[in-house]
Amino acid sequence: MVKLSKILFISSLISILLLMLILENASNSNIKEGKISSIKYSTNKITITLKNQTTPLIIFENKRDNKILDLKKGDKMQFKGRENTYKNKKQIIIDKIIKLK
C-alpha cells in the first residue's frame, strides 16, 4: 500500500512538471515582432504604433524597464501582450518587450 502511494505521488509530480513545461512553451509562441512607426510618451504610459499593424501597443509606466529600453521610431522590437478594448477601440497591453538590434 505504501509503495502504491509513493508511485502515485511521484507520477503526479511528474505530471505537474510536464504541464508546466507545456504551458511555458505555449506562452513563448505568442511573441510577435515589429518595427516602430510612431511612439508617444505620456505621463503614465507609452503608446507604440507598428508598421503594418493598426492596433496600438500600450506600455504602462509602472513597469520598471520602460525607460531602460529607450525606444524610438524605426527600432525593431519583440513583444508579448494581451488584447484589450478601451473606449470601443482595440489595443494590446504589453507584458514583455525586447528592443532588437
Q: Break the chain into its structural domains and give their ranges.
A: 1-30, 32-100
Mean pLDDT over residues 16-30, rounded?
Answer: 77
| Residues above pLDDT 70, as percent of the chain | 86
Mean pLDDT over residues 78-82, rounded?
Answer: 87
Mean pLDDT over residues 57-72, rounded?
Answer: 68
Residue 52: its pLDDT value, please? 85
Task: For the domain made up of 32-100, give the CATH fold.
Answer: OB fold (Dihydrolipoamide Acetyltransferase, E2P) (2.40.50)
Name the 3-class secondary structure at 84: strand
Whole-prediction pTM value? 0.63
Q: List CB contacts of 27: < 8 A, sequence separation 6 or more.
A: 80
Say how many C-beta atoms besides its own lie within 10 A of residue 94's C-beta: 20
**Contact (CB, 8 A) for 78 and 33:** yes
